[in-house]
Amino acid sequence: MKVPVVDYIECVGCETCAIMCPEVFYMSHDKAWVRDHAAYENCDLRRIWRSCPARCITFVDVPDDSCP
């Protein structure tokens, strides 16, 4: 499973990702954060990645059975 990760130093706080997919991203202290649950498949993450002006969203592979 691909999980989005935000580089908080590069994030410019534009809120685009949180507006496009509030199930995954939320804003706090003018930075985007990733919610800790498996709703990632419900959003077009490729479209959000392309829309991020800072290009600070990346993806990491996490095994599906990694949750406790």
Residues that bind ligand SF4 (CB under 6 A): 6, 11-17, 32, 52-54, 56-57
Long-range contacts of 46-53 (CB under 8 A, 24+ apart): 47/20, 48/4, 48/16, 48/17, 48/20, 48/21, 49/4, 51/16, 51/17, 51/20, 52/14, 52/16, 52/17, 53/12, 53/14, 53/16
Least CB distance to ligand SF4 at residue 53 (A): 6
Least CB distance to ligand SF4 at residue 60 (A): 15
- The smaller minimum CB distance to ligand SF4, of residues 37 and 63, is found at 37
Least CB distance to ligand SF4 at residue 68 (A): 27
